[in-house]
Amino acid sequence: MDAPSHPVVATGLCYAHADVDVLHDVSVVLPSGAVTAVCGPNGAGKSTLVELLAGVRAPRRGHVSRTGRVALVVQRPAVPDSLPVTVRDVVTMGTWARRRPRAAARRAVEDAIARVDLVGLEDRPLATLSGGQRQRALLAQGIVQDADVLLLDEPAAGLDAASRETTRRILRDEAHERGAAVACVTHDEESVRAADRVLRLEAGRVVGRDPSLAHGGRRP
């Protein structure tokens, strides 16, 4: 069965921190086969929006409709440094979302680690990695899930230029080759220019939607 053309549809989302609204009547559609960049200044509500779309937060008002499997890649996981988990452990956690033969799961983990250029670090504890290496391990955990919707909170944070380009390529492949609906919070202008669609937030409101910025296109 083909994936739905719009596996995530959110309407009229409002969210409050300590009784203060940080999102105001935000509506979003995430289409399959496209990368949507969510951008805007710090404090605009970008991360909160992605968490609402993923279902890890509930809106004060509004509704989110999701179809298919959803994977969320966060920037700062709630994993204490004292927990002895390795890169392989972190990526393997992504396979728990769906049942598959053990050998197939192992191959998927190895492939995801290779795609994010962490071969040779599989047995390194997550706590000993640099910030950029941690981000790549978490990205591998996201892509190994083969989810219909892939949501990411600043996947390029802490990465060097080559790793940012690798991340952009992976997200493009997940959308264009596999057909996933991909949305990522980003401050990286190259990632914004590379996206198929752009959603801009300021002070918790949508201030711009640009579906024409495909494949490096420029605004008029």
Q: Going by C-beta distance under 8 Å and a sequence separation of 6 or more, which residues neighbour residue 205?
A: 23, 24, 25, 26
pLDDT score of 82 = 65
> Taking Cα atoms as reference points, which of 173, 172, 164 lies closest to residue 196?
172
Chain centroid to Cα 119, Å, comes to 22
pLDDT score of 38 = 96
Predicted TM-score of the model (pTM): 0.88
pLDDT tens-place string over residues 195-218: 999 999 999 999 987 754 443 333
Q: What are the residue ranges spanned by the domains of the chain?
A: 1-68+150-159+178-212
DSSP code string of 130-161: -HHHHHHHHHHHHHTT--SEEEEE-TTTT--H
Mean pLDDT value across residues 10-33: 93
pLDDT tens-place string over residues 83-139: 788 999 999 999 987 888 899 999 999 999 999 999 999 999 988 888 888 889 999
pLDDT score of 214 = 40
Please state which CATH class domain 1-68+150-159+178-212 belongs to: alpha beta
pLDDT score of 81 = 64
Instruction: Answer whether residue 74 shows pLDDT above 60.
Output: yes
Q: What is residue 67's DSSP assignment? A: -
Mean pLDDT value across residues 46-73: 94
